[in-house]
Amino acid sequence: MLAPEKWISMKVDESEIAGEIIKHFSRDLLENLEVDVAIVGGGPAGLTAARYVGRLGLKTCVFERNLHIGGGIWGGGILFPRIVVQEHAKRLLEEINVKFEKGERGYYVADSVETACKCAIGAIEAGAKIFVGLSVEDLLIREKRVGGVVINWKAVEAAKMHVDPIGIESKVVIDATGHEASLVRTLVEKTKVKLPTRSGGVEGEGPMWAEKGESEILKSTREVYPGLIVAGMAACTVFGSPRMGPIFGGMLLSGEKAARIAAKSSKRFKRH
């Protein structure tokens, strides 16, 4: 092994460093131009979905528009960095080795920083590729089925530059974009399709009611259009369920269910 003094005196070339970055990232992007499941949103629902999809042996990647993953996990409740889950969801924390403490009346409390990091590690170790700084601005829709996503750098979007995006083909897409449910909104806007909701459109999330929100989230986690599955807060927004604040069991369970639906739906995919 070389001593640190020797390393420090070794030649470092800027163009070589740049070359390594460009070569390796380009390779990763090229390898993910076609995936089984494209997951949009790197919050708790998207990262959990990615872990389960990966564990099922499917090729998957997550597109997160921010430079960091974790979505709404980090801030816990009013910036007190703790999240709460109930008994039925604590196995999802155990599976990724998140430590938690038992609180009152069957609540389990975990550190939100640890949860965000370990949700991401779980997804990566299951084989999912996470891309950050990339925003999904549109869907690929072929023959009445969603067949991929359209991506661009968030920096391009923020600067309002006119730069054409590129398409990523996938057998299934999971909308885990949180409160916005932006992919389902795009689908409705572009196809005028009627969703399986009360009004046929996006209902919009209801006022905070943790108990009701947690109990409805799994019912709302479903394929709303062939090839498009909605998970996490996006599912609440689409089906008009209440938001639930810093209780996160429903988000994790929703990600798990979305992965199972995605695996089934991917078998129905036919290439055009």
Chain contacts with ligand 48F (rule: CB under 6 A): 40-46, 63-66, 71-73, 135-136, 176-178, 180, 182, 232-234, 243-245, 247-248, 251
Pairing between β-strand 34-40 and β-strand 60-64 as defined by DSSP bridges: parallel
- The smaller minimum CB distance to ligand 48F, of residues 143 and 250, is found at 250
- Amino acid code (one letter) for 271: R
Closest C-alpha to 132, from 63, 180, 85 = 63
Nearer to ligand 48F, 147 or 178 (CB): 178
* Minimum distance from residue 20 beta carbon to ligand 48F (Å): 26
Alpha helices, H only, 32-100: 44-55, 90-95
Q: Which residue has the tokens 């009013």?
A: 78
DSSP assigned state of 161: -
CB closer to ligand 48F, 57 vs 77: 77
Q: Which pair of tokens denotes residue 256?
A: 């798990």
- If the CB atoms of residues 18 and 33 are measured against ligand 48F, the closer one turns out to be 33
The single-letter DSSP state of residue 197 is: S
Cβ proximity to ligand 48F, 201 vs 245, nearer residue: 245
Backbone angles phi and psi of 196, in degrees to 5: -80, 45
167 pairs with which residues across the strands?
150
Nearest distance from C-beta of residue 206 to ligand 48F, angstroms: 12
Please report how close the Cβ of residue 195 comes to ligand 48F at its closest, in angstroms: 18
Cβ nearer to ligand 48F, comparing 176 with 195: 176
Q: How far is the CB of 68 from ligand 48F (least distance, A)?
A: 8
In the chain, alpha helices (H)? 4-8, 14-31, 44-55, 90-95, 112-125, 154-158, 182-191, 210-220, 233-239, 249-268
Q: CB of residue 121 vs ligand 48F: minimum separation in angstroms?
A: 16
Q: CB of 148: closest distance to ligand 48F in angstroms? A: 14
Q: How far is CA 70 from CA 37, 43, 123, 146, 176, in A?
A: 19, 4, 12, 25, 12
Nearer to ligand 48F, 45 or 184 (CB): 45
Alpha-carbon distance 252 to 36, whole Å? 21
In the complex, least distance from residue 119 CB atom to ligand 48F, rounded to whole angstroms: 9
- Locate 141 and state its tokens: 């829709």
